[in-house]
Amino acid sequence: MKIGIFKERENSRETIDFTGKSVLDLLRHLQINSETVLVVRKNEVLTEEELLEDQDRVDILSVISGG
């Protein structure tokens, strides 16, 4: 499936092909530590177990303070 991603820390957008199912699968695919981010879809914060769907757009927000 295709997932649109906005990464807050890099201020970047991309669409990726993704074969996993859950938010945790996505973070592992992107090699992002789940401790360091919140994942938001349509203004709703998602738990790591939440399932993603084709054409979903998610924001990956950094929880780490910038300094």
Of the two residues 32 and 57, which places its CB atom closer to other proteins in the complex?
32
Tell how far CA 47 is from the center of its chain.
Answer: 11
Minimum gap (Å) between residue 26 Cβ and other proteins: 15
Minimum gap (Å) between residue 33 Cβ and other proteins: 5
Minimum gap (Å) between residue 9 Cβ and other proteins: 7
Helix, strand, coil content of the chain in percent (nearest 5): 15, 40, 45
Of the two residues 15 and 36, which places its CB atom closer to other proteins in the complex?
36
In angstroms, the CA 17 to CA 3 distance is: 7
